[in-house]
Structure 1
Amino acid sequence: MKTLFLSVLLIPLSLIAQRDWSTAEITSSEAGPGVYRLFVDNRVSVLVQTGEDGVLVVDAAYAQTGEKLKAAIEKLSDKPIKFLINTHLHGDHTGGNAFIGQGAHIIAHASVKDFLSKDQVQGEKTTPAPPIHARPDITIEGKMTIGFNGEAIEILHLPGGHTTGDLLVYFPKAKVIHVGDLLFAGFFPYVDVSNGGNPLVYVKNVAWILENYPDDVTFIGGHGPAFSKAQMKEHLQSLNETIDIIKNAKAAGKTEAQMKESRILKQWESFGSFFITEDRWIDTLYPFL
């Protein structure tokens, strides 16, 4: 959203400020050879590739956890961070840029650079644009390959699902792909319509990912646990089933209020336990069906 830089998705900035971020924890696990998943505050997945060439990071999580994230990365490698890739513009993926991006090249879609170059306004509060070193200096359209630490790392722009600037970052040797917020693993996804997102394109793009990457790849989404391809397929099937239910109910004349009152998506109650509730998923889908 355009009101998001230091905010966490749609949570008001006032609530973020009130939170005690000193309790936020970062856990580390190996996602593949030389590639580590740092799970920030039990919410956001950051990938870190280490090797002789240095360190490459995918996403920077929150501004409020930037120092902790940098310290966690330094535990994995004493080499400098050479590249930081932002999968999209939201503050829970770019907020830590000022801490992680110092001295590194930051890669993102042009829409992310534009977003981070402006002050952001939420209600009566204005958040200044981050410093120059926290903004992308390399922008991508289409596909880019980086030879780094013995990997030909593939970065692909796959727009229009979550936001207009969605990037995939694939490590073919490690067999790991970070798909940003094209995967809320086990949950209803947030689709940022105000920044070019579309729920129907979202599921279409997830289907494309499943068709174009190998069966033994580990999928890292912006939120939730790592998924196998089988889990990713099952997740997509569930999302498509909910879309069909809302589509058919709308065709039968049901209103959003009626769908919510009847709990038409009750079967997927667990999907609404993270951020987007059953009701908000109905609100997201209804105008597009």
Structure 2
Amino acid sequence: MKKKIIFLFLFIPLMAFAQSGGESLPVHSTEVAPGVYRLFVNERVATVLFSGPDGVILIDAAYEQTATQLKAAIEAITQTPISYLVNTHHHGDHVGGNVALGSNAIIISHQYVRDYVSSEHRAGERVIPAMAEEGRPDISFLNELKLDFNGQTLQMLHLPKGHTNGDVIIYFPESKVIVVGDLLFADNFPYVDVGSGGDPMGYILNQQYILDNFPRDLTVIGGHGPIYTMERLREYNLELQKTVETVRIAKQQGMTAEQMKAARILREWEAWGKFFITEDRWIDTLFPVL
């Protein structure tokens, strides 16, 4: 089916997460398969809506600050309440809207995510409180969970030690769609949350697992950046491996991380450093593990 693009001008207030001042950004909806929509929030983070005869599943809830706009975008597609909310991992741009959007739904995540959002954390001097009970996952799992819904058996699979240690991918076999969360920062250097069990080598291996174990004709929806085909994911993964080898060789030759940055050894991938993770931050991520 040809993808249908809907521009929903549901304007999002510019807060700390905004990219630029003085403008408002829409929620963009793309129907990637019948009843399956990618909702791109604030031109930064993707959520996925699956609507059908059994009800509605939402994958990720984006920011707390954008919950009203995301809800309006969903209601422009369907008036059916959300039955299930699935979190791909625990970061605030994916679970922030849990309370507002998932309080009347069954929330599903990996056990790591439930444990994380259910307790208080510190980020430097800042205290991050536990999430309100109504936003915490109701169902958590360790390895795999299957759900029969809207005529499909959805497969939720934990891939450890990638972006975090609680990443979940969701496979829609009949729709030929796979949602991989932040295991894909499409067209950008990835962010690997080492403090939450992420690992850059595991990140690459998890992408390879997806490529090796799922059909080649899938639409791939990552947490950030454009929609991919499986072939485009393969190309991205190969380029990511090249960045690793570039840093590895430089380290073997005796260069420090600061010398690598000064020499701009990753300048070939300059375009990847304009979203969140810069060339320098990717070097800092790779250097300790090579």
Q: Same fold (TM over 0.5)?
A: yes
Q: Which fold has the larger relative contact order, with Cα–Cα distance below 8 Å and residues 6 or more apart in sequence? A: 1
Give aligned-pair identity as a percent. 49
> What SS class does the counterpart of residue 103 from structure 2 fall into?
coil
The 1-side partners of 2:130 and 2:73 are apart by 25
Q: Shift of residue 21 of structure 1?
A: 11
Match of 2:40 in 1: 39
The 1-side partners of 2:22 and 2:217 are apart by 36
The 1-side partners of 2:23 and 2:105 are apart by 26
Q: Shift of residue 100 of structure 1?
A: 1.2
Match of 2:195 in 1: 194
Match of 1:262 in 2: 263
Q: Shift of residue 77 of structure 1?
A: 1.2
Runs of 4+ in structure 1 over 6 Å off = 19-22
**Distance change in 2, residues 1:20/1:98 (3 Å):** farther
Are 1:28 and 2:29 matched, yes or no? yes
For 1:218, the aligned partner's letter is: T
> What SS class does the counterpart of residue 48 from structure 2 fall into?
strand
Q: Structure 2: any 5+ residue segments left out of the alignment?
A: 1-14
The 2-side partners of 1:21 and 1:50 are apart by 35
For 1:268, the aligned partner's letter is: W
The 2-side partners of 1:159 and 1:21 are apart by 40
**Distance change in 2, residues 1:66/1:120 (3 Å):** farther
Q: How does 1:225-264 map to 2 (within 5 A)?
A: 225-264=226-265
The 2-side partners of 1:162 and 1:124 are apart by 24
For 2:265, the aligned partner's letter is: I
Are 1:172 and 2:173 matched, yes or no? yes
Match of 2:3 in 1: none
The 2-side partners of 1:114 and 1:56 are apart by 22
Match of 2:6 in 1: none
The 1-side partners of 2:126 and 2:200 are apart by 29
Are 1:49 and 2:11 matched, yes or no? no
User: What are the Cα deviations for residues 60-96 of structure 1, in whole angstroms up to 9, with x where unaligned?
Assistant: 1000001111111111111111100000000000001
Match of 1:134 in 2: 135
The 1-side partners of 2:21 and 2:175 are apart by 36
| Equivalent pair of 1:21/1:65 in contact (CA under 8 Å) | no
Match of 2:106 in 1: 105
User: What are the Cα deviations for residues 181-205 of structure 1, in whole angstroms up to 9, with x where unaligned?
Assistant: 0100010000000000000111011
| Equivalent pair of 1:21/1:64 in contact (CA under 8 Å) | no
CA RMSD of aligned residues (A): 1.8
Q: Shift of residue 20 of structure 1?
A: 7.8
Match of 2:11 in 1: none
For 1:81, the aligned partner's letter is: I
| Equivalent pair of 1:158/1:165 in contact (CA under 8 Å) | yes
Match of 1:161 in 2: 162
Q: Shift of residue 125 of structure 1?
A: 3.4
User: What are the Cα deviations for residues 32-79 of structure 1, in whole angstroms up to 9, with x where unaligned?
Assistant: 121000000001111000011110010010000011111111111111
For 2:168, the aligned partner's letter is: L
Stretch of structure 1 that moved more, 240-249 or 111-120: 111-120
Stretch of structure 1 that moved more, 175-184 or 109-118: 109-118
**Distance change in 2, residues 1:106/1:21 (3 Å):** farther
Q: Shift of residue 232 of structure 1?
A: 0.5
The 1-side partners of 2:23 and 2:131 are apart by 22
Corresponding pairs, count: 276
Q: Structure 1: any 5+ residue segments left out of the alignment?
A: 1-13
| Equivalent pair of 1:246/1:286 in contact (CA under 8 Å) | yes
The 1-side partners of 2:286 and 2:120 are apart by 30
Match of 2:59 in 1: 58
> What SS class does the counterpart of residue 258 from structure 1 fall into?
helix
Q: Shift of residue 121 of structure 1?
A: 3.0
Q: Shift of residue 126 of structure 1?
A: 2.7
Stretch of structure 1 that moved more, 162-171 or 68-77: 68-77
For 1:263, the aligned partner's letter is: R
> What SS class does the counterpart of residue 76 from structure 2 fall into?
helix
The 2-side partners of 1:21 and 1:114 are apart by 38
For 1:274, the aligned partner's letter is: F
> What SS class does the counterpart of residue 25 from structure 1 fall into?
strand
Match of 1:148 in 2: 149
> What SS class does the counterpart of residue 280 from structure 1 fall into?
helix
The 2-side partners of 1:56 and 1:208 are apart by 25
Q: Shift of residue 16 of structure 1?
A: 4.8
For 2:174, the aligned partner's letter is: K
**Distance change in 2, residues 1:168/1:102 (3 Å):** same
Match of 1:3 in 2: none
